[in-house]
């Protein structure tokens, strides 16, 4: 191996070694989950299933039955209050597949998730709020 090949190999090895560093930081990211709310915006009765996942464990799972244009529900916050890696999953009762939203962000300290049913034929949307002070008293 000549010097040019050696320098190239070291550079590629260093880049490959650094590639995992970003993943490590993302795995260590944690947020405090302050609220999970569910709203039915449709004019039809429907049922929505919601899961809160911490790490690999389901820490809360509920099903809500909604009347048309129901004002919504807020989950009871039975998950740990310590920051962690949270994923919120939701599906309409008739669906087989879950829609998942990873709410953990390395640049944020909290999350509040709003599961919104806009149509009974499409999966719910799940926007995330990062307004920690506004949602601080929810759990």
Residue 125 — φ and ψ, nearest 5°? -90, 155
User: Is residue 122 exposed (0-12), middle (13-18) or buried (19+ Cβ within 10 Å)?
Assistant: exposed
* 139 residues of the chain, pLDDT tens digit each: 333 443 333 333 333 443 443 343 455 789 999 999 999 888 889 999 999 999 999 999 999 999 887 778 999 999 999 999 999 999 998 888 999 999 999 999 999 999 999 988 888 999 999 998 887 777 7
- Domain ranges (residues) in the chain: 1-29, 31-135
Q: At a CB cut-off of 8 Å and minimum separation 6, what does 10 contact? A: none
- Fold of the domain spanning 31-135: Immunoglobulin-like (2.60.40)
Q: Enter the tokens of residue 104.
A: 């953990």
């Amino acid at each position: 191996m000549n010097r040019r090949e050696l320098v190239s190999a070291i550079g590629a090895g260093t880049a490959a070694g650094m590639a995992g560093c970003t993943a490590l930081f993302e795995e260590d990211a944690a947020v405090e989950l302050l609220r999970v709310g569910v709203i039915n915006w449709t004019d039809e009765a429907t049922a929505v299933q919601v899961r809160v996942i911490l790490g690999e464990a389901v820490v809360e799972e509920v099903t809500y039955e909604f009347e048309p244009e129901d004002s919504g529900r807020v989950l009871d916050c039975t998950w740990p209050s310590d920051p962690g890696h949270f994923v919120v999953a939701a599906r309409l009762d008739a669906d087989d597949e879950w829609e998942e939203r990873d709410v953990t962000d390395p640049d944020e300290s909290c999350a509040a998730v709003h599961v919104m049913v806009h149509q009974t034929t499409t999966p719910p949307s799940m926007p995330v709020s990062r307004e920690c002070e506004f949602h601080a008293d929810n759990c």
